[in-house]
């Protein structure tokens, strides 16, 4: 009966996760197609270095090292989770014990890693809730984002504690030579819990071991299905996001608008041949998520909300409204809203909203395009590229720009330079020198 219950829970959890993952994939693919300049080998190398190797995390050593502990725990402890799943399906106990001393080493190593994970997440919790580091006590994170981060940290503490208590009671049952609890595994950390459990009867110990075993595996299945609505989706999406990042493309290189070039270039080069039809309906920049590329929508879902981008943004530091983290969160919020619209109507029905319903013009024009946010992001997200697409739309589609910029554009149009002087007057400043 326990195996049947476990299999039902497992299938339900995997099915629900797959259902939600398909929705996220659909939402991402609402974006425009992308052409990559870098080779697959270059992008794979970047993924291995940044996502797998955590190379950009350790630029801030304290948070970086702690994150590596949690990341390594997530990756490696899943080997033990695989054993737990197989035991749950077949009603066995410590199925991998057939590997003998190597199995003992693995269990011992996983316990040490679990302790490091527990200590790391406690420190992360303290940094957010006690020390209240500026980038975590930021207005961007008011509401669900703040609760989301704390929920995950507490969940990880519970999972690691449940694993230790399950192992500790298991070890006692092994020493009592209880049938089903074969002697296997090394327990360097959970052994410290043994004195707390030693005096319990065998029946109660079996109940304790089974209870924490179920808490651990159900917690993992809950965590799996919480990912699609959480910033912790980056655990999965960091890999494709860094793979589809172009490491050799300069961050400051903005894309050329071919439609604009095709209109302007013939005035300077009679031999220029336009590649676009000037009579076709055109859109410039991004007004809604459909106008961004699928890579940029992938970045929105990949954002870890760590705030490193905002912490190095000179405009945010000097009190401007711009927060690169908030830009990415707003794109994701709008994309989620569009996805729900499609779920209800089977296709997107105009709801009178767009990205400018979430991102103000003040935020967009505050950016000084320094690329600090893109340089700092530990998973290769580029908020600036999205900001530029929004600017393109404001100027070329909506004819909206700050008065200072409008004055400069008028001067360029009339005088061929940003300054309010005609060509004939440019050298007048030299006359009295």
Please report, rounded to a whole number, the percentage of residues in the chain having pLDDT higher than 90: 76
Orientation of helix 324-345 relative to helix 294-302, angle to 10°: 110
Orientation of helix 294-302 relative to helix 2-28, angle to 10°: 130
The CATH number given to whatever domain includes residue 383 is 1.10.1060
Residue 265 lies inside a defined structural domain of this protein? no
Question: Are 252 and 371 a contacting pair, CB within 8 Å?
Answer: yes
Q: Is the dihedral of CA 213, 215, 216, 222 positive or negative?
A: positive
Check whether residue 154 and residue 18 sit in a common domain: yes
Residue 185 lies inside a defined structural domain of this protein? yes
What tokens appear for 91 in the block? 């009603």
Residue that the structure tokens 């590329």 belong to: 293
Query: Which position has the higher pLDDT, 155 or 254?
Result: 155
pLDDT, position 19 = 97
Orientation of helix 61-90 relative to helix 202-226, angle to 10°: 120
Residue 276 lies inside a defined structural domain of this protein? no
Mean pLDDT (whole number) for 169-186: 91
pTM attached to this predicted model: 0.91
Write the DSSP symbol of residue 252.
Answer: T
Check whether residue 10 and residue 97 sit in a common domain: yes
Check whether residue 407 and residue 340 sit in a common domain: yes
Confidence of residue 433 (pLDDT cuts 50, 70, 90): low
pLDDT, position 90 = 92
Q: How many CB atoms lie within 10 A of CB 77?
A: 20
Check whether residue 65 and residue 162 sit in a common domain: yes
Residue that the structure tokens 């070329």 belong to: 396
Mean pLDDT (whole number) for 72-87: 87
Check whether residue 196 and residue 76 sit in a common domain: yes
Check whether residue 197 and residue 67 sit in a common domain: yes
In this predicted model, what pLDDT tens digit does every residue of 10-37 receive, in sequence order?
999 999 999 999 999 999 999 999 999 8
Question: Are 356 and 381 a contacting pair, CB within 8 Å?
Answer: no
Question: Are 120 and 70 a contacting pair, CB within 8 Å?
Answer: yes
Return all residues near 309 (Cβ < 8 A) that are at least 6 apart: 324, 325, 328, 372, 373, 374, 376, 377, 381, 383
**Domain boundaries, position 391:** 283-415
Write the DSSP symbol of residue 233.
Answer: G
Integer Cα distance of 109 and 189 in angstroms: 10
Task: Provide the Cα torsion 256, 258, 261, 262; round to 10°.
Answer: 170
pLDDT, position 357 = 96
Check whether residue 90 and residue 201 sit in a common domain: yes
Return all residues near 102 (Cβ < 8 A) that are at least 6 apart: none
Integer Cα distance of 148 and 230 in angstroms: 7
pLDDT, position 418 = 86
- The number of distinct structural domains making up the chain is 2
Residue 426 lies inside a defined structural domain of this protein? no
Residue 375 lies inside a defined structural domain of this protein? yes
Check whether residue 77 and residue 192 sit in a common domain: yes
Confidence of residue 425 (pLDDT cuts 50, 70, 90): confident
In this predicted model, what pLDDT tens digit does every residue of 315-336 receive, in sequence order?
999 999 999 999 999 999 999 9
In the three-class reduction of DSSP (H, G, I as helix; E, B as strand; rest coil), residue 303 is classed as coil
Integer Cα distance of 295 and 233 in angstroms: 16
Mean pLDDT (whole number) for 249-273: 85
Check whether residue 215 and residue 301 sit in a common domain: no
Residue that the structure tokens 């794979």 belong to: 44
Question: Are 38 and 249 a contacting pair, CB within 8 Å?
Answer: yes
In the three-class reduction of DSSP (H, G, I as helix; E, B as strand; rest coil), residue 41 is classed as helix
Check whether residue 185 and residue 295 sit in a common domain: no
**CA dist 280 to 166, 168, 264, 275, 288, Å?**
67, 71, 16, 12, 20
In this predicted model, what pLDDT tens digit does every residue of 194-229 receive, in sequence order?
999 999 999 999 999 999 999 999 999 999 999 999
Check whether residue 113 and residue 166 sit in a common domain: yes
Q: In 3D, which of 363, 233, 372, 243 has the Cα closest to residue 307?
A: 372
Residue 255 lies inside a defined structural domain of this protein? no
Residue 275 lies inside a defined structural domain of this protein? no
- 79 has pLDDT over 90: no
pLDDT, position 237 = 96
- Rounded mean pLDDT of the chain? 92
Question: Are 330 and 394 a contacting pair, CB within 8 Å?
Answer: no
- 253 has pLDDT over 90: no
Q: How many CB atoms lie within 10 A of CB 330?
A: 21
What tokens appear for 306 in the block? 């760590």
Check whether residue 205 and residue 287 sit in a common domain: no
In this predicted model, what pLDDT tens digit does every residue of 117-135 receive, in sequence order?
999 999 999 999 999 999 9
Residue 153 lies inside a defined structural domain of this protein? yes
């Amino acid at each position: 009966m326990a195996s049947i219950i476990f299999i039902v829970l497992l299938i339900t959890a995997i099915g629900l996760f797959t259902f939600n993952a398909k929705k996220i994939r659909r939402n991402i693919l609402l974006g425009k197609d992308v052409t990559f300049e870098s080779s697959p080998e270059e992008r794979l190398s970047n993924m291995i270095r940044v996502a797998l190797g955590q190379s950009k995390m350790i630029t801030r050593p304290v948070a970086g090292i702690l994150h590596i502990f949690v990341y390594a725990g997530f990756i490696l402890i899943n080997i033990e989770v695989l054993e737990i799943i197989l035991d749950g399906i077949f009603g066995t106990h410590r199925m991998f014990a057939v590997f003998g001393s190597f199995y003992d080493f693995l269990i011992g190593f996983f316990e040490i890693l679990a302790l490091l994970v527990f200590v790391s997440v406690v420190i992360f919790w303290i940094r957010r809730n006690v020390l209240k580091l500026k980038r975590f006590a930021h207005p961007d994170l008011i509401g669900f984002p703040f609760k989301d981060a704390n929920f995950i940290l507490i969940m990880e503490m519970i999972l690691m504690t449940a694993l230790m208590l399950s192992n500790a009671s298991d070890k006692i049952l092994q020493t009592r030579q209880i049938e089903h609890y074969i002697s296997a595994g090394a327990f360097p950390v959970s052994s410290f819990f043994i004195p707390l459990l030693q005096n319990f009867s065998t029946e109660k110990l079996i109940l304790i071991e089974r209870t924490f075993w179920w808490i651990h595996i159900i917690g993992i299945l809950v965590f799996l299905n919480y990912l699609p609505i959480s910033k912790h989706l980056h655990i999965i999406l960091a890999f494709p996001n860094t793979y589809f990042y172009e490491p050799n493309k300069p961050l400051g290189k903005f894309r050329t608008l071919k439609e604009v070039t095709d209109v302007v270039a013939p005035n300077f080069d009679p031999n220029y041949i336009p590649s676009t039809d000037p009579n076709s309906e055109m859109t410039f920049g991004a007004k809604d998520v459909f106008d961004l590329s699928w890579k940029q929508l992938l970045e929105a879902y990949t954002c870890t909300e760590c705030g490193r981008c905002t912490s190095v943004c000179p405009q945010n530091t000097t009190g401007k409204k711009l927060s690169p983290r908030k830009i990415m969160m707003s794109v994701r919020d709008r994309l989620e809203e569009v996805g729900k619209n499609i779920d209800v109507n089977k296709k997107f029905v105009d709801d009178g909203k767009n990205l400018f319903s979430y991102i103000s013009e003040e935020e967009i024009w505050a950016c000084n395009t320094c690329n600090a946010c893109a340089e700092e992001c530990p998973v290769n997200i580029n908020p600036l590229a999205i900001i530029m697409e929004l600017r393109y739309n404001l100027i070329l589609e909506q004819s909206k720009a700050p008065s200072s910029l409008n004055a400069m554009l008028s001067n360029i149009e009339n005088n061929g330079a940003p300054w309010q002087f005609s060509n004939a007057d440019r050298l007048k400043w030299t006359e009295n020198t």
